[in-house]
A and B are shown apart, each in its own frame.
Chain A
Amino acid sequence: MAFTPVQPVPELEELRGQVRKFLAEEMPKIGIEPGLGMMAGHSPEFSKKLAQRGWVGMAIPKEYGGGGASVLERFVVVEELLAAGAPLTAHWISERQTAPSLLKFGTADQRERFLPAIARGECYFSLGMSEPDSGSDLASVRSRAEQVDGGWNLNGTKVWTSGAHLNHYFAVLCRTSEGETRHQGLSQLIVDLSSGGVTVNPIRLLDGNADFNEVILEDVFVPDDMLLGEEGTGWKQVTAELAHERSAPDRFLSPFLVLEHFLREHEDWVDSERAADAVGRLVSHYYVLRQMSLSIAASLQAGDAPAVEASMLKDMGTLFEQELIEVVRSLVDLQPCRGSSSPFERLLGEAILTAPGFTLRGGTNEILRTIVARELTR
């Protein structure tokens, strides 16, 4: 299990410089305060501007309107966006998850239809995996589609569907046949969220936001050409998707701005030995976690499948995120308020309220550890 450091690449650093310049110019114009990680803000305007620079769907091949960029190039852009708290939520899932899935499993028509629009920053997807009775045990999904003339008749309920009220499509994992094992007979259907029979109900989270939804599917007609991949291979497809997302910088950068703004608003922090110790440790760990994430990206680029390393990184990164919030909080004597005019206090408050989700979303840490342990003790 090798974590090899990645040599600095001048071209990547040039790209990094361009992204920073863009963010410095565009972030103030967009009128959205910097936020936390992948949920920093849903802004089609920003997504389109970013796409004009070629930084959405970078890894999509040029023939489908993407940048044909490498994994590492995309890594640099993504980490710069996250570190700046840029509002990337609109295109986040379609860019990170749906596009690679379409490339791997989609038909020529599906690629033609969706990939250029994703790369333009205009087409947004949500995830359609979890259900009220299927969380970690994803293979137990009960949504079901039956073959009808020209397509599928889909019924079921999906939950935790972030952005379903704003996005255009979601890829629904559902049962389409009975297989010998429960992992067989599942398929992914691309569902237009504006179709008849689709009802999107907001699920308010404890911070008052309603970015998550329950999506009820009642006799939704899905045309044949919206089957993603083959009938019955949905399980393989979703697990491939998950392996891709777990090592990315969003798994340790969510509360980065809490730390940065702590430094901004407490100029004398370094005079306190305790604060210096805490900041020194947090920054050291940030440096090493990022090196690990970068090395996994390099390994993906080389064509390897570092699924176990990626699962470990997500466990480590998200635990660190939660730790960071508590450590920084212990250095200040304040009562975080909603809507504070201090960016530090605002971000700290948001971080405290959203932190429980860090170790839940994208597969709970407990499930990830089970996956890793199975490999370690093979």
Chain B
Amino acid sequence: MSTERQMLSESVGRLLAEQAPTDAVRDAEGVGWLPELWQLVTESGLDRIAIPEEHGGGGGSLADAHAVLWQVGRNASPIPVAETGLLGGWALSEAGLPLPAGPITVVPDASGGAVRCTQDGDAWRLQGTGHRVPWASQSERIVVIADAGEQRIVLSVPTTEVSCGGELTLAGEPRETVSFDDVVVDADSWAEAPESVTHDSLLLRGALTRVTMMGGAMERAAEMGERYANERHQFGRPIAKFQAVQHHLVAVREEANRTAMAGNAALLAVEQGRPGSEFDVAAAKVVAGDSTRVLAARSHQLHGAIGVTFEYDLHLFTRRLHAWRDEYGSARYFAQRVARVVAEHGPDQLWPLITRSVAR
């Protein structure tokens, strides 16, 4: 990581930790988010750091935005940073549509006729349902990437025009059901989707945000375990002195490193625009999901009963990991995708695929 990005990451980390310590995150579960924290984050431009300046963003890189997201994971911050800048805002900006000042969210998957569009002069009428839309009620606009006949369009729908509500993730973050009941989207709020904006590119971008956030949350869980094992005494000594506990600590840190590497490697491939980078992202999401299983279970085991209480912080991270691992494509889904890439390459090219090198 460049020194500048390191400094950005550290300052964001300080901001989130000071303004929204874990007690605040815990208390936010009733409301679903932290509006005051969001205010600070958006005033500092951290939510749209990778949006080009001409569209009202910070003009930073994808890696800068991911440095912020890492801290969102590390601090379990319940705010739509990924959705506003890297997903919904990204689609609007790519399509040349104006970005609202408030939070932006996106329908994660509006393919396959989930949201139907009918043309009405310059406008489109929307009918259908968006599922598991992050922080829909809290957002100002909901972005939909929709198929309209042969066309693919990006729509920016005011939240006031839809009805939303419903589910929370396992970590208590809103993922709402949004009903589009004959919503009219005028000419200034839709555009033809550029080549870069597809159902799949949204899915892959979303998957990468989750891997980065998971890396941050895992790092925090690992640190918590290491501190706890030193502080907690049983049989007259810190439990860190017991080999059985040491093995948990090592396994947890290994998985945290594994996911960090997966996310960093995929991010680099995407940022450099390397051909076939969907493989890197898919592999990263598979690995992050598999790591969660080990890391969450062993983190809880080493913390003992205190770790399963609401009062203790560990679950703020482990529950988010369990939620994020399945968003924008589960490990199961992406394993199938990786397999298809492997099959297309054939056995001779398995090793070149793994090493991301040219065919042999």
Contacts and interface: CB of A to CB of B under 8 A. Distances in A.
Interface of A: 1-5, 7-8, 13, 16-17, 20, 24, 79, 83, 256, 259-261, 263-264, 269-270, 273, 275-281, 283-292, 295, 309, 312, 315-316, 366, 369-370, 372-373, 376-377
A223 to B, nearest CB: 43
A378 B262 CA distance: 27
A330 to B, nearest CB: 15
A260 B257 contact: no
A273 B340 CA distance: 11
Contact of A288 (B246, B265, B342, B358): B265
A305 to B, nearest CB: 17
Q: Is the interface of A mostly helix, strand, loop or mixed?
A: helix
B232 to A, nearest CB: 11
B258 interface: yes
B253 interface: yes
Interface string B327-351: 0000110111111101100110011
A215 B268 CA distance: 50
A283 B353 CA distance: 9
Given A1-B257, A20-B360, A287 B354 contact: yes
A376 B350 contact: no
B229 interface: yes
Contacts of A291: 261-262, 265
A280 B351 contact: no
Interface string B257-284: 1101110110110000010000110111
Pairs A-B, 8 closest by C-beta atoms: A280-B335, A373-B246, A276-B339, A284-B283, A280-B338, A284-B286, A280-B339, A270-B343
A315 B1 contact: no
Contacts of B282: 280, 284
B159 to A, nearest CB: 37
28 contacts: A1-B257, A3-B257, A3-B264, A4-B264, A5-B265, A5-B267, A7-B268, A17-B358, A24-B360, A260-B351, A261-B347, A263-B346, A276-B336, A276-B339, A277-B335, A277-B339, A279-B339, A281-B290, A283-B338, A284-B282, A288-B261, A288-B262, A312-B253, A370-B246, A373-B247, A377-B226, A377-B238, A377-B249
Contact of A273 (B230, B336, B355): B336
A369 B246 contact: yes
Contacts of A289: 258
Contacts of B226: 376-377
B240 interface: yes
Contacts of B240: 373, 377
A315 B250 contact: yes
Nearest to A377: B240
Nearest to A264: B347
B243 interface: yes
Contacts of A24: 360
Nearest to B227: A377
A372 B250 contact: yes
Contacts of B264: 3-5
A295 B261 contact: yes
B342 A280 contact: yes
B254 interface: yes
B205 interface: no
Contacts of A264: 347
A287 B240 CA distance: 32
Contacts of B331: 281
Contacts of B286: 280-281, 284-285
Contacts of A277: 332, 335-336, 339
